[in-house]
Amino acid sequence: MSENRTAKLSIDGKELELPIHSPSLGPDVLDITKLYAQADVFTYDPGFTSTASCESTITFIAGGKGELLYRGYPIDQLAEQSHYLEVCYLLLYGELPSEAELVEFESRVTNHTMLHDQMNHLFRGFRRDAHPMAIMCGVVGALSAFYHDSTDVSDATQREIASIRMIAKIPTIAAYAFKYSSGQPFVYPDNNLDYASNFLRMCFAVPSEEYVVDPILAKAMDRIFTLHADHEQNASTSTVRLAGSSGANPFACIAAGIACLWGPAHGGANEACLNMLREIGTVDRIPEFVARAKDKSDPFRLMGFGHRVYKNFDPRATVMKESADEVLELLGIEDNETLKVAKELERIALEDPYFVEKKLYPNVDFYSGIILDAMGFPTSMFTPIFAMSRTVGWIAQWKEMIGDPKLKIGRPRQLYTGAKHRDYVDVKKR
């Protein structure tokens, strides 16, 4: 970072010089670290949309250009040419692995996929109709009760062990949550399969039948994992960092991230998108809902179109659309009304001047929801799969933060507008 430039700020006749940092990519950053100490004022930024909360080398988003980079590599190249565990290595360690490094890394992950057998009892403590995200929050947080040898955040070796364990065990936890909600027996991991295939098998295999994972479905699932692996300082990642800044154990931090991701404005977007398609119901009702979306006085919004960060197009959507087309062709889903509604909405969004002008293109949630539905996942599993994909990003961000010598516990300030000082009045005199 360059620190040669400064900005001048005048407050009540007092002039301050604030350093300006220049990143390798993206806008310059005004350093207000000492503003409170020097001028006794805070900044006000609801949602922290104009605030850099940390320094990071992991992920970069250029929303105006529709660009997403993992460690400098464009997401479309990684999704097309790489695979999820290789991307995990890249996010965790900063570089693409050599062939030997990748084999060793994949072996370490594969050898940690099993859960401690006593953890199976945890699932039975939930109601059968519990949302899988509720189960994910509880079970991931409980990992710290079973793996005491990897909770010391000051120990680099323990941090590494915890990282590998979570990447390896999250698919097993998600699959068990799915099986539990459907009343089917758990299917143990098969270490002969790749990461995506193993997850699909744990979700859909039953003891009485042989289950063979179709490579097209495994590829689509792997892409979903890759495209959701990290996304800079979003709400759930910031939650993980804030929890981690207190020195909380890594399992608790990731559980906090899962809880944040559960919100419909964050990880629940693809679930909300599919629910919207089902609400529309049939193609002939689309004009009604499009008109409502254009009406500023109507609270209805088309889910799965546009993105808060990407002001042009979502770079993940192009790759996801390709997988959606492959999966739908493989499964021969032609007469599904929800799919017909999705395809017609997609056509309108790409052609209608209103959507084109406002750049409301189909985003990654639009296509990933269609894929997961076609595979046979209920909407309640969409966000757990998102959490499973994002775990490596959370871990990479957490490790980066823990290793930062400038680490301080997070402590946002506030603009207080409540009552001023007042004295207590006895209850009988009120």
Residues belonging to the active site: 307, 365
Q: How many Å apart are CA 223 and CA 218, to the nearest integer? A: 9
Q: How many Å apart are CA 287 and CA 376, to the nearest integer? A: 29
Q: Is 186 left (phi over 0), alpha (psi -120 to 50) or beta?
A: beta
Work out whether strand 14-22 and strand 2-11 pair parallel, antiparallel, or are unpaired: antiparallel
Q: How many Å apart are CA 154 and CA 400, to the nearest integer? A: 13
Residue 359, Cβ neighbours under 10 Å: how many?
15
Query: Which stretches does DSSP call E strand in 109-243?
Result: none
Residues 6+ apart with CB under 8 A from 273: 303, 304, 365, 366, 369
- Give 329-333 contacts, CB < 8 A, sequence gap 24+: 330/214, 330/216, 330/217, 331/374, 333/374
Residues 6+ apart with CB under 8 A from 68: 59, 60, 61, 74, 75, 231, 315, 316
Phi, psi of 29 (to 5 degrees): -125, 125
Residue 74 tokens, joined? 């464009």
End-to-end CA distance of the chain: 59
